Amino acid sequence: MSKDVKILVIVFGSLAGLVVLAFVGAVAFIAISVSHQVGASSAGSKAASAAKIAHFTLPPGYRYELAMDMAFVNTVVIARTGARQSFLIQLQGMAVPPTSASEDQLEKSMEQGFIGASCTSTGNATEETLKTASGKTVVLRKVSCSGGRAAGRVIEYGRIPSTYPIAMISAIGTQDTFDHAALREIVTSIR
């Protein structure tokens, strides 16, 4: 790897770490405030933000809770309608220069930042491979947290096909509230 590529990887890795921490904070903010809306104000504008990341079908009983469009990052949070927000699904698209080294590093940084910021120790991770409606493969990784701020919670995440160079889906909930079927429905409906 050339010196320039290494520098690019380090810069994007650092930026990714900061971005991930900011979005983990946003998810925590949503979990604390039950009905407070931030970002896009109407259901239509939140749906439009989600469509910028990926075209998918929203599962029955779910709504767009939050949408944030920033310079090079777009985030949408999905929650159950009328329920306490103990289970959230987040989609995030990031516009980065299209080099495979920076994309791979950014994806690893996002994964490490999300899991590391939430769990101090985890159980065994499991993987499930799904096909989207457009025929693309998505690998979802599921981790049970046994310590840290997310103790007793389940986190599931994976990279999804998108118009963005990097797009991830993640979900967090307790063992009792985790809705794997809703997460699967979103992933398999991506077109």
The top-scoring range by mean pLDDT among 74-88, 102-116, 130-144 is: 130-144
The answer, yes or no, to whether residue 86 has pLDDT greater than 70, is yes
| Confidence at 3, pLDDT banded by 50, 70, 90 | low
133-156 per-position pLDDT tens digit? 999 999 898 888 777 666 778 888
Residues sharing a CB contact under 8 Å with residue 165, sequence separation 6 or more, in sequence order: 94, 95, 96, 97, 98, 103
Query: Which pLDDT score is estimated for 158?
Result: 86
Q: What is the mean pLDDT of the segment spanning 1-24?
A: 60
Task: Give the pLDDT confidence score for residue 59 in this predicted structure.
Answer: 93
The model's pTM is 0.70
Between CA 102 and CA 13 the distance in angstroms is: 8
> Left if phi > 0, otherwise alpha if psi is -120 to 50, otherwise beta: which for 74?
beta
Beta bridge partners of 76: 67, 91
Whole domain around residue 64: which residue ranges? 3-189
96 compared with 140, residue with greater pLDDT: 140
CATH at 51: 3.40.1000
With a cut of 70, say whether residue 19 has pLDDT above it: no
Q: Compute CA 26 distance to the chain's CA centroid, rounded to the nearest angstrom.
A: 12
pLDDT at position 186 over 90: yes
Comparing CA positions, the residue from 84, 44, 90 lying closest to residue 182 is 90
pLDDT value at residue 6 = 58
As for how many domains the chain has, the answer is 1
**Distant-in-sequence contacts of 43-46, Cβ < 8 A, 24+ apart:** 46/76
Determine the pLDDT at residue 157.
84
Separation between Cα atoms, residue 71 and residue 65, nearest integer Å = 20
Cα–Cα distances in angstroms (integers) from residue 40 to residues 77, 84, 100, 111, 149, in the given order? 11, 21, 32, 26, 28
What mean pLDDT comes out for the span 39-62? 85
- Long-range contacts (CB closer than 8 Å, 24 or more residues apart) made by 7-10: 8/97, 8/99, 8/101, 8/102, 9/101, 9/102, 9/105
Which run of H or of E encompasses 134? none
Percent of the chain with pLDDT over 70: 60
Sign of the C-alpha dihedral computed for residues 92, 76, 83 and 25 taken in this order: positive
